[in-house]
């Protein structure tokens, strides 16, 4: 990667860490919402034992980084160290100066999840991480031969359940689940971007006519895929076309006019690069 690209990545990780810290300090930590992860565990220890959240995060992150390097290899690198350290330091330094915007638990869990998701998504998009339970999940996955997603769910569930027990409130655990869900969705949105186009897979008895109409009426390119029906055992072609959101209705109508029995699959395309779309 070029030096300029590396600098932009570090700036992105830094910005993401700061945004994540704001979400934690403005909404989650003061309202005892431990939405999984190392930050959630640190939130519990902060309210129960008075430990600083950021330093507690570092205390958990460093051993996990060392274990990860031994078990998983040099996979995370300096970007992870940078992101984890900056997030922890920013959380503690900014805490006295960041106002708590609400004590309504629903608002706090939702907006805390949104802001934290934006920050973490930016970190991940910049090829960094903030350490945390994703490493624990990766280690568990390797040691016990289960999928990483299942391991991550187990770890986050343990943190949220521990928070409910420590705070003697099942309600706080339920709000933490809301925040965890919102955070995961926002991370995906930041990394992938909003759906900017639609992919059409058209199975029709007249693929040549449908393709010609698309190229003539919509000025969009098409691609043919060879296919074989599982029930009919007949060979045919599937027409694939990518269109903008505004062209979806026109394409549906066009296909319906040409072949009312056509089988059409429409899927989201979060990023399309090439002629007619982004460079």
- Residue by residue, pLDDT tens for the chain (279 residues) are 567 778 888 899 899 999 999 999 999 999 999 988 888 889 999 999 999 999 999 888 887 777 766 665 565 567 777 888 899 999 999 999 999 999 999 999 999 999 998 998 888 888 777 766 666 665 666 677 766 556 666 778 888 888 899 998 899 999 999 998 898 888 878 877 766 789 999 999 999 999 999 999 988 999 999 998 888 888 889 999 999 888 899 999 999 999 999 999 999 887 777 776 666
The Cα–Cα gap between 62 and 54 comes to 12
- Architecture of the domain made up of 197-269: 2-Layer Sandwich (3.30)
Q: Taking a C-beta distance cutoff of 8 angstroms, is the pair 173, 202 a contact?
A: no
Q: Which two tokens stand for residue 51?
A: 């430990």
Residue 55 has φ and ψ, to the nearest 5°, of -65, -35
Q: Is the pTM of this model over 0.85?
A: no
**What are the residue ranges spanned by the domains of the chain?**
3-191, 197-269
Q: Please, what's the b/e burial string for 246-278 (b: 16 or more CB within 10 A of its CB; e: otherwise)? A: ebeeebeebbeebbeebeeeeeebeebeeeeee
Helices (H) then strands (E): counts for the chain: 10, 4
């Amino acid at each position: 990667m070029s030096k300029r690209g590396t600098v932009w990545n570090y700036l992105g990780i830094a910005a993401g860490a700061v945004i994540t810290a704001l979400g934690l300090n403005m909404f989650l930590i003061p309202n005892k919402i431990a939405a999984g992860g190392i930050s959630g565990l640190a939130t519990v220890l902060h309210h129960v034992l008075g430990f600083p959240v950021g330093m507690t995060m570092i205390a958990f992150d460093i051993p996990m980084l060392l274990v990860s390097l031994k078990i998983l290899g040099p996979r995370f690198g300096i970007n992870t160290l940078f992101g984890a350290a900056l997030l922890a330091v920013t959380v503690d330094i900014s805490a006295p100066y960041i106002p708590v915007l609400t004590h309504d638990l629903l608002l706090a869990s939702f907006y805390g999840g949104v802001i934290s998701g934006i920050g973490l998504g930016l970190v991940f998009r910049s090829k960094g991480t903030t350490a945390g339970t994703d490493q624990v999940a990766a280690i568990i996955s390797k040691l016990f031969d289960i999928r990483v997603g299942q391991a991550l769910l187990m770890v986050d569930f343990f943190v949220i359940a521990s928070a409910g027990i420590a705070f003697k409130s099942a309600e706080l655990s339920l709000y933490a689940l809301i925040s965890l869900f919102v955070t995961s969705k926002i991370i995906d949105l930041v990394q992938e971007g909003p759906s900017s186009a639609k992919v059409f897979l058209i199975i029709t008895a007249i693929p040549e006519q449908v393709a010609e109409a698309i190229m003539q009426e919509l000025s969009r390119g098409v691609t043919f895929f060879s296919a074989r029906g599982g029930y009919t055992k007949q060979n045919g072609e599937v027409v694939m076309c990518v269109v903008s959101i505004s062209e979806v209705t026109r394409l549906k109508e066009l296909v319906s006019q040409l072949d009312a029995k056509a089988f059409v699959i429409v899927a989201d395309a979060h990023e399309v690069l090439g002629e007619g779309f982004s460079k």
